[in-house]
């Protein structure tokens, strides 16, 4: 019999054990070993069976056992100690509060930390016990919340709760990916429903076309100090099709997707408002849009200001932009979310969804080169005064990719910065590692304590232990996967000895879009086979990853790997493990000696799995893309040479695969197997040590969140305050300024300019020169513009580069002049340009307006 419906009954705990309830529902347990140990000791067998999930443990452990523990003084005092520790963690001032104090004593610093920040994301990977993510983006969002919690940053997370999350993966007999969608039961998850005093769920309303309404209830997960609000449309009040809006993550068509994004953005803002009113939590001053998907949040905030504060659209836009931060994660143009304009028109055109907001203004925000498409990334950038990519290289790629939105500016002036992603150490570092070398001090300046006293032998022993644990897990999973594919136990004896705890272990796990090149290692199967079966220095390779359900190309790549690994000749040395998720990921990051990454440069925005491996002493073997481009230092791993510029994709793959095989054969494996008398590979351990010491601090999510606070949240809060003061005077002035500039700009011109050098001819490096210009401001006030002299080297093409820009002084009659030293020797050139200037702009390029001489 199949159940019609699943529901979970929460165990009622004997009174002395009530603190266990709080410890189980606050997800801090996911990164706090003492809490995990406490739960494990409730019933080690059940703990094992439920995969280390405290709520399921409490639901399944026997009443007798609980009664016994309620009388066990030793257990009770441990429980009290852990609960007290959590209470302290939740209330004591942390880094953010100290920072606030510092700034309060230094008001001249000009920035003030926001009382609250809302962080919107379509997926959150906090723990496998709350399967609400598909991969890197979600796990990053989860790590962002956890690090914010550790630092005391007052963030509120906002997203959707999916009935089936992302799919679970298994394999058919012939190696084809099969998807399953287990249905979750929110009442059995670490979630709390936001309710009216009557106990009825609070519902967020979002208007749909034809007079319909999409309703969603709000679940709250507590991630340490951070509330995470998740909207869920599966309520009886909704029409059947609308109940399904939050059924699956990345599972439907465009129409399904836009409904999800409308709910996350528009409904998400309404959910935060409700939550803050209900709990007294401060309303957010800054809104962080994690990738374009959640971008509709800016439209709802514009509507709020238009409806309740009486601002017009442009004033509201100026106010919203000031407090919005947008992070882009996609260097692949095809990866950007785009909707047909008609679809956006369908949802926003009927006037009920966002009353008072003209749909033409909405459409203009998402406009792109193709007039039929609405571009969520463009909207994200137009709705945010501050934007960033997720590694230095990705920042550069993004400036190039989006430069069309700032015509006339050099790529490096495009106002998109970067904050390199990080990973949450306590979540991803093996306990043994944290214990041995000390956790990085997430609450203070980062840095690993006490690496020196740890001997190579001890560290090696620890690494071998982690590898052995991975090998056990590989055996277990290989056996389970074969059973699933229809094999009988009788033919699976060989799985007991797949992989070898003493062999150099290389890991490769990630989603399977083409650019990640899952099958690059198969480019020359004979070479791979030779490396796996090398009699003296063998390697073993563990592979995992999911393909998007609609991507048959990706599934075919997985099948190629599976078929290769099925070959009895090599199957003891290479395995594809189905169902890559956070749990499997941890075994891989802990146990792999080498973490392989071979994307097509520069299409990996950042990549974070290599960071997690590094935290455990794994060495990266990677194309210099994303984070590795800035963190590789020659001693912490290997850079696979890239055939940049080779346009034939096949040839490029051949070249890069050959380089990969060579690196493994001539450097990686020899180093790993070069043992001293004591069996320890000293030179290998030197690299491990160097990796732990130098990468450990830099790859932490704590470092990332501190950067967001200092470089994005604090300035955004200051801007938001500046536009809000005195009844939104700043927003009104800024909107009026934009309108004035827009009207005058087509007529602004540099009428005349020249550069004169006194003294030696040709002038000498550093000699003073004077640049003069006559500018027609078309009625703008001189204070509305910045007229700049630009001097730099000239390329053959006449393009200026390596420029120095200097503001020119006005003489009261439209004349401008400045004296400056010549910045370079050789062939130089200059020009003059005019930019809008206003105290509330974050960067001179912000409005995308510039007039160049000539």
Ligand X SMILES: *Cc1c(COP(=O)(O)O)cnc(C)c1O
Binding site for ligand X (CB under 6 A): 135-136, 139, 510, 580-582, 585, 607-609, 612
Residue 510 CB, nearest distance to ligand X (Å)? 4
Q: Is residue 89 a contact partner of residue 71, using CB atoms and an 8 Å limit?
A: no
Contacts of 99 (CB under 8 A, 6+ apart): 113, 709
CA distance readout (Å), 48 to 60, 61, 77, 384, 617: 12, 12, 24, 46, 27
Residue 231 CB, nearest distance to ligand X (Å)? 23
Nearer to ligand X, 137 or 228 (CB): 137
Residue 392 CB, nearest distance to ligand X (Å)? 16
Give the residue from 836, 141, 673, 150 showing the smallest Cα distance to 444. Answer: 150
Nearer to ligand X, 330 or 609 (CB): 609
Cα dihedral 727, 731, 734, 740, rounded to 10, equals -80
Q: Count how many residues are written for the chain.
A: 854
Long-range contacts of 550-557 (CB under 8 A, 24+ apart): 551/512, 551/513, 553/514, 554/512, 554/513, 554/514, 554/518, 555/176, 555/177, 555/512, 557/512, 557/518, 557/519
Nearer to ligand X, 571 or 612 (CB): 612
DSSP secondary-structure letter at 9? P
Residue 703 CB, nearest distance to ligand X (Å)? 16
Residue 65 CB, nearest distance to ligand X (Å)? 33
Residue 580 CB, nearest distance to ligand X (Å)? 6
Nearer to ligand X, 298 or 702 (CB): 702
Residue 140 CB, nearest distance to ligand X (Å)? 8
Radius of gyration in angstroms for the set of CA atoms belonging to the chain, rounded to a whole number: 29
How far is residue 463's CA from residue 614's CA, in Å, rounded to a whole number? 12
Q: Which phi and psi angles does 374 have, rounded to 5°?
A: -110, 125
Cα atoms found within 13 Å of the Cα of residue 30, Cβ hemisphere only: 29
How far is residue 832's CA from residue 759's CA, in Å, rounded to a whole number? 23
Nearer to ligand X, 368 or 629 (CB): 629
DSSP output for 450-516: --TTS-HHHHHHHHHHHHHHHHHHHHHHHHHHHHHTT--GGG-GGGGGSS-TTSEEEEEE----GGG
Q: What angle do CA 120, 123, 124 make, to 5 degrees?
A: 90
Structure tokens at 146: 């956890």
How far is residue 521's CA from residue 122's CA, in Å, rounded to a whole number? 32
How far is residue 313's CA from residue 690's CA, in Å, rounded to a whole number? 54
Question: How many other C-beta atoms lie within 10 A of the C-beta of residue 725?
Answer: 11
Residue 166 CB, nearest distance to ligand X (Å)? 10
How far is residue 231's CA from residue 275's CA, in Å, rounded to a whole number? 12
Residue 584 CB, nearest distance to ligand X (Å)? 7
For every residue of 547-565, which 3-state class applies, written as one string?
Answer: CCCCCHHHHHHHHHHHHHH
Nearer to ligand X, 615 or 716 (CB): 615
Nearer to ligand X, 181 or 515 (CB): 515
Nearer to ligand X, 135 or 618 (CB): 135
Structure tokens at 734: 């800024």
Residue 711 CB, nearest distance to ligand X (Å)? 22
Q: What angle do CA 281, 285, 288 make, to 5 degrees?
A: 105
Nearer to ligand X, 139 or 218 (CB): 139
Nearer to ligand X, 478 or 518 (CB): 518
Nearer to ligand X, 415 or 602 (CB): 602
Nearer to ligand X, 160 or 605 (CB): 605
Nearer to ligand X, 217 or 612 (CB): 612
Nearer to ligand X, 440 or 607 (CB): 607
Residue 799 CB, nearest distance to ligand X (Å)? 36
How far is residue 527's CA from residue 152's CA, in Å, rounded to a whole number? 51
Residue 464 CB, nearest distance to ligand X (Å)? 23
Residue where the block lists tokens 């070993």: 33
Residue 136 CB, nearest distance to ligand X (Å)? 3
Nearer to ligand X, 69 or 543 (CB): 543
Residue 616 CB, nearest distance to ligand X (Å)? 13
Q: Is residue 25 a contact partner of residue 222, using CB atoms and an 8 Å limit?
A: yes
Residue where the block lists tokens 């009040």: 237
Residue 399 CB, nearest distance to ligand X (Å)? 21
CA distance readout (Å), 337 to 109, 169, 250, 295, 640: 38, 25, 12, 11, 31
Nearer to ligand X, 271 or 582 (CB): 582
Name residue 769's beta-bridge partners: 757, 820
DSSP output for 339-369: EEHHHHHHHHTTSSSSTT--HHHHHHHTB-S
How far is residue 800's CA from residue 821's CA, in Å, rounded to a whole number? 17
Residue 607 CB, nearest distance to ligand X (Å)? 4
Nearer to ligand X, 528 or 584 (CB): 584
Residue 612 CB, nearest distance to ligand X (Å)? 6
Question: How many other C-beta atoms lie within 10 A of the C-beta of residue 107?
Answer: 9
């Amino acid at each position: 019999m199949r159940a019609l419906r699943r529901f979970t009954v929460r165990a009622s705990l004997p009174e002395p054990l009530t603190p266990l309830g709080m410890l189980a529902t606050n997800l801090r347990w996911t990164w706090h070993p003492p809490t995990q140990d406490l739960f494990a000791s409730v019933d080690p067998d059940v703990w094992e069976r439920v995969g280390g999930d405290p709520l399921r443990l409490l639901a399944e452990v026997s009443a007798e056992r609980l009664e016994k523990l309620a009388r066990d003084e030793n257990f009770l005092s441990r429980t009290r100690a852990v609960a007290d520790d959590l209470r302290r963690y939740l209330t004591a001032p942390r880094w953010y509060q100290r920072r606030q104090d510092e700034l309060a004593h230094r008001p001249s610093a000009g920035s003030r930390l926001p009382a609250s920040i809302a962080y919107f994301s379509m997926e959150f990977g906090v723990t496998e016990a709350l399967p609400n993510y598909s991969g890197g983006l979600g796990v990053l969002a989860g790590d962002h919340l956890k690090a914010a919690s550790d630092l005391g940053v007052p963030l509120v997370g906002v997203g959707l709760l999916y009935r089936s999350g992302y799919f679970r993966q298994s394999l058919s007999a012939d190696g084809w990916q099969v998807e399953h969608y287990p249905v979750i039961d929110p009442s059995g998850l670490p979630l709390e429903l936001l309710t009216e005093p009557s106990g009825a769920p609070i519902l967020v309303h979002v208007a749909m076309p034809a007079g319909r309404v999409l309703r969603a209830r709000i679940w709250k997960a507590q991630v340490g100090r951070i509330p995470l609000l998740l909207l869920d449309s599966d309520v009886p009040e909704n029409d059947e099709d609308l109940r399904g809006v939050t059924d699956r993550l990345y599972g439907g068509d465009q129409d399904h997707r836009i409904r999800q994004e409308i709910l996350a953005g528009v409904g998400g803002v309404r959910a935060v408002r409700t939550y803050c009113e209900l709990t007294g939590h401060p309303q957010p001053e800054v809104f962080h849009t994690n990738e374009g998907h959640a971008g509709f949040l800016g439209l709802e905030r514009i509507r709020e200001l238009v409806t309740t504060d009486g601002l017009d659209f442009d004033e509201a836009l100026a106010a919203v932009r000031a407090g919005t931060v947008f992070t882009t994660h996609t260097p692949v143009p095809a990866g950007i979310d785009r909707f047909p304009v008609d679809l956006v028109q369908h949802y926003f055109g009927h006037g009920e969804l966002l009353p008072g907001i003209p749909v033409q203004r909405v459409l203009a925000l998402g406009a792109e080169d193709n007039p039929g498409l609405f571009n969520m990334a463009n909207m994200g950038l137009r709705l945010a005064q501050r934007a960033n990519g997720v590694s230095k290289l990705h920042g550069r790629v993004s400036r190039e990719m989006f430069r069309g939105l700032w015509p006339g500016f050099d790529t490096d002036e495009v106002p998109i910065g970067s904050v390199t992603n990080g990973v949450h150490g306590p979540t991803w570092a093996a306990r043994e590692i944290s214990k041995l070398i000390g956790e990085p001090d997430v609450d203070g300046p980062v840095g690993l304590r006490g690496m020196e006293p740890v001997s190579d032998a001890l560290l090696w022993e620890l690494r071998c232990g982690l590898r052995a644990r991975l090998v056990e897990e590989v055996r277990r999973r290989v056996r389970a996967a074969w059973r699933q594919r229809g094999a009988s136990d009788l033919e699976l004896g060989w799985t007991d000895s797949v992989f070898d705890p003493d062999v150099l272990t290389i890991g490769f796990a990630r989603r399977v879009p083409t650019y990640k090149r899952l099958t690059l290692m198969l480019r020359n199967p004979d070479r791979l086979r030779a490396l796996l079966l090398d009699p003296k220095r063998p390697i073993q390779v563990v592979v995992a990853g999911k393909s998007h359900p609609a991507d048959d190309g990706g599934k075919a790549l997985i099948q190629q790997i599976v078929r290769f690994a099925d070959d009895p000749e090599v199957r003891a040395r290479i395995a594809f493990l189905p169902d890559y998720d956070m749990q499997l990921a941890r075994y891989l990051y802990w146990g792999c000696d080498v973490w392989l990454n071979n994307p097509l440069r520069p299409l990996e925005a950042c990549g974070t799995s290599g960071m997690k491996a590094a935290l455990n002493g794994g060495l990266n073997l990677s194309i210099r893309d994303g984070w590795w481009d800035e963190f590789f230092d020659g001693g912490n791993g290997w850079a696979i040479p890239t055939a940049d510029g080779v346009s034939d994709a096949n040839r490029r793959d051949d070249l890069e695969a050959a380089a990969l095989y060579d690196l493994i054969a001539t450097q990686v494996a020899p180093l790993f197997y070069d043992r001293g008398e004591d069996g320890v590979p000293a030179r290998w351990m030197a690299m491990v040590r160097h990796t732990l010491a130098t990468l450990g601090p830099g790859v932490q999510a704590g470092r990332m969140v501190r950067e967001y606070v200092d470089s994005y949240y604090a300035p955004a809060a200051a801007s938001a305050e500046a536009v809000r003061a005195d009844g939104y005077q700043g927003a009104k002035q800024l909107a009026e300024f934009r309108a004035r500039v827009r009207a005058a700009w087509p007529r602004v011109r540099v009428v005349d300019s020249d550069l004169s050098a006194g003294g030696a001819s040709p002038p000498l490096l550093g000699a003073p020169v004077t640049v003069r210009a006559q500018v027609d401001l078309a009625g703008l006030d001189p204070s509305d513009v910045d007229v700049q002299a630009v001097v730099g080297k000239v390329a053959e093409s006449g393009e200026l580069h390596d420029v120095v820009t200097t503001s020119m002084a006005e003489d009261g009659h439209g004349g401008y002049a400045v004296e400056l030293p010549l910045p370079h020797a050789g062939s130089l050139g200059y020009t003059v340009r005019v930019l809008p200037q206003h105290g509330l702009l974050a960067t001179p390029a912000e409005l995308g307006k510039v007039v160049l001489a000539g």
